[in-house]
Structure 1
């Protein structure tokens, strides 16, 4: 029984309606679909490093020791990065040094050169204190780039969306000259540094983040300069800091965009890519991130303003097949109790309603939310109801008119009149 269930568990009741037996006409693959297949076939799946020394090959252990010796010889003073002394010899230092070695295929001299340049850049850029800076870009916070929740393995997740820059006034305000571009780059580094502060730097721990990039309405031509700067900064100074790069709302021209960036990307970086075209966003994200940690605009239950100091209440996932109606029945609600719930279906385009069904014989069913068609762009439903008598709440999602399977999630909390809580 999950934490969200009461003593009387909710259950799903699928109501099947037969679909037409006619087969869809074959169609040519889109450019995006062909590109996605080609990328998948030629790019091996990324395997994250554990950073346990016992998992290293003898040659890799030797490279790590050589890097320590060379760093000490060239930088006799105490060098630190992300609050970790690189010459301390402890496991946190090993994790960071292994990131630079991994980024350079354990070529010691190349890793040392990359590390030294990164240390110099951090001093010049004042990266160690950037998290505390007020850069005066409040309009970008929570919109263009932001940390939000964790994936199923515990990696912090950073979301990126540049569609707002289709607005020329917004674009000019952010990238209009070199000074504005520099401020934007500092802010983008600031967001990444916030995510890095959430990492463990420990063997077997969480040592990297997840990047989700929304390509919807992204003005690719105008943002090329800024994108190249960001890519260069991150690749040069944040090696192995990203466990997976998930691209969502991928447009038809992604293959062109990819061809521009591809020469600057290592094969290891390409192996981290997950590509999801429009219409598959929620289903893709559910594979890696729990619904309560996914922003509502992407089919999740996480809203800006949710408490950052406590974990999100767990949600239950379910699927709604094409031609199916699903009822979620939450039983055991006492008189005077208040039930609050969230429910979302990825790419809605189906009918939703909520009813309260009293237990008492002769009582009438109450329409808490009347049946209504939910558009694709609608966010999660959040509502509450205080019962006057004992009964159950029934949430219904009707996908009978569609052939498409949809992923969905819900959660609820019941508060008795005595203020005790069932979850």
Structure 2
């Protein structure tokens, strides 16, 4: 159920640090970078060029296995996420990658260079280059998956905590080896998401991460929290600015205290990307970033898996229902022999809804398709039209706040079942 007129303390959105200033700063920087930022980028390019050509980029590391000498490896072809790092190659994505690392270190060149160097060494040790082809002992397609994009084209990456039952939980975190495998699987998931990004000026070069915190009843989450902290720390150190927003939905009470404690381990910039949402505000919050047709039905949206009726490009219209008002969506049908299908997303509670078909012929009877009742979330229905008329969908807002309804509909030619059975 989504946000209602009266919100209890349980349903309030957890306070968070605003990210508007950071977002505005980054947007302004993309339009016209400040001189000191340009200078930092030029210094980093020069420093990186010298380290690559001098074959010293991966040297001076405690692990001798990662030390690279001119005789064993030529670093001129070194790349990150498929983008060449040697600035003199002139690849348009090189500066995009470097700016991500610079932002993470507040444009401090020495710290940025060291972060980039450690990331490359970690990737070599962790063997990330072949991780996309790795297979794991357990299926996680229903736990970690990518589904659609937000309004700006960022891929939406979902992490579903509720997908863990006791058996899968024990199998995933029961041993240290399994925990290490979970870490590798999380890195694989991140690398798969990066494959969908476009590292060029004006391209979509980051993703939105949505974590559903609703868990199975009676399931202890200690191991998940510990491993999740490792994953977040690893991503912060080696995937700077890859996450555009990290949205936690269906957040329980204990998560706020946990986040306060966990916040000490992440940077201020990273912290500004986190959004925590109570269950009653999930739909309303997701709508700030995602179009209704791309919000999954389990979160109150219109998106259904393997949908045979509506395609992803079938957008939804918006209906605003003022406090105490009644509004209707009218679907005229001039030709009989079609089935009308409609989708509605109700943002908020305290709304009543009914469906009816009103024939154009005054001698025909109005058909009540669905009697009036309280609604929330999403609704889909259909009706076969055997005479000209109109489908009328009526929304009654009984609350003291205005509400929004998103809707879409279509008509498709249909042969009645009785004709098929008699043929």
TM-score over 0.5 (shorter chain): yes
- State the partner residue of 1:369: 370
- State the partner residue of 2:419: none
TM-score normalised per structure 2: 0.80
- State the partner residue of 1:149: 148
- What's the CA shift for 1:406? 4.2
- What's the CA shift for 1:45? 4.9
Structure 2: distance between partners of 1:93 and 1:390: 61
- Aligned positions of 1:40-55 closer than 5 A: 40=17, 44-47=21-24, 49=26, 55=32
Structure 2: distance between partners of 1:386 and 1:34: 42
TM-score normalised per structure 1: 0.80
- What's the CA shift for 1:363? 1.2
- State the partner residue of 1:97: 98
SS at match of 2:288: helix
Structure 1: distance between partners of 2:388 and 2:13: 55
Q: Residues 408 and 31 of structure 1: is their aligned pair in 2 closer, same or farther, counting only changes over 3 Å?
A: closer
Structure 1: distance between partners of 2:313 and 2:131: 28
**Counterpart among 176, 179, 189 of residue 178 in structure 1:** 176
- What's the CA shift for 1:107? 1.5
**Counterpart among 390, 393, 399 of residue 391 in structure 2:** 393
- State the partner residue of 1:292: 293
Q: Residues 404 and 135 of structure 1: is their aligned pair in 2 closer, same or farther, counting only changes over 3 Å?
A: farther
Deviations 1:151-200 (A, max 9, x none): 222221222231333x4323112111122222222222222223222222
Q: Is the Cα–Cα contact under 8 Å of residues 50 and 204 in structure 1 kept in the other structure?
A: no
Structure 1: distance between partners of 2:300 and 2:339: 25
Deviations 1:98-117 (A, max 9, x none): 11111111122211221122
Q: Is the Cα–Cα contact under 8 Å of residues 358 and 389 in structure 1 kept in the other structure?
A: yes
Q: Is the Cα–Cα contact under 8 Å of residues 19 and 272 in structure 2 kept in the other structure?
A: no
Q: Residues 358 and 322 of structure 1: is their aligned pair in 2 closer, same or farther, counting only changes over 3 Å?
A: same
> Is 1:86 paired with 2:85?
yes
Q: Which runs of 5+ in 2 are unaligned?
A: 1-5, 54-74, 416-423
Q: Which runs of 5+ in 1 are unaligned?
A: 1-23, 419-423
Structure 2: distance between partners of 1:333 and 1:176: 62
- What's the CA shift for 1:261? 1.2
Q: Is the Cα–Cα contact under 8 Å of residues 356 and 394 in structure 1 kept in the other structure?
A: yes
Of structures 1 and 2, the larger Rg is shown by 2
Q: Is the Cα–Cα contact under 8 Å of residues 351 and 374 in structure 2 kept in the other structure?
A: yes
- State the partner residue of 2:60: none
Q: Residues 51 and 74 of structure 1: is their aligned pair in 2 closer, same or farther, counting only changes over 3 Å?
A: farther
Q: Is the Cα–Cα contact under 8 Å of residues 52 and 204 in structure 1 kept in the other structure?
A: no
Q: Aligned residue pairs: how many?
A: 381
- Aligned positions of 1:277-356 closer than 5 A: 277-306=278-307, 311-321=312-322, 323-346=324-347, 350-356=351-357
- What's the CA shift for 1:347? 5.4
- What's the CA shift for 1:405? 4.9
Structure 1: distance between partners of 2:269 and 2:397: 41
Q: Is the Cα–Cα contact under 8 Å of residues 45 and 272 in structure 1 kept in the other structure?
A: no
**Bigger CA drift: 320-329 or 227-236?**
320-329
SS at match of 2:269: helix
- State the partner residue of 2:411: 414
Q: Is the Cα–Cα contact under 8 Å of residues 32 and 252 in structure 1 kept in the other structure?
A: no
Q: Residues 35 and 359 of structure 1: is their aligned pair in 2 closer, same or farther, counting only changes over 3 Å?
A: closer
SS at match of 2:280: coil
- State the partner residue of 1:8: none
Q: Is the Cα–Cα contact under 8 Å of residues 51 and 202 in structure 1 kept in the other structure?
A: no
- What's the CA shift for 1:269? 1.2
- State the partner residue of 1:196: 194
Q: Residues 136 and 372 of structure 1: is their aligned pair in 2 closer, same or farther, counting only changes over 3 Å?
A: farther
- State the partner residue of 1:254: 255
SS at match of 2:199: coil
Q: Which structure 1 residue ranges, 4+ long, deviate > 6 Å from structure 2?
A: 51-54
Structure 2: distance between partners of 1:201 and 1:333: 49
Q: Is the Cα–Cα contact under 8 Å of residues 327 and 395 in structure 1 kept in the other structure?
A: yes
- What's the CA shift for 1:226? 1.1
- State the partner residue of 2:62: none
Q: Residues 217 and 53 of structure 1: is their aligned pair in 2 closer, same or farther, counting only changes over 3 Å?
A: closer
Q: Residues 120 and 40 of structure 1: is their aligned pair in 2 closer, same or farther, counting only changes over 3 Å?
A: closer
Bigger helix fraction: 2
SS at match of 2:258: helix
Structure 2: distance between partners of 1:65 and 1:405: 51
SS at match of 2:236: helix
Q: Residues 53 and 69 of structure 1: is their aligned pair in 2 closer, same or farther, counting only changes over 3 Å?
A: farther
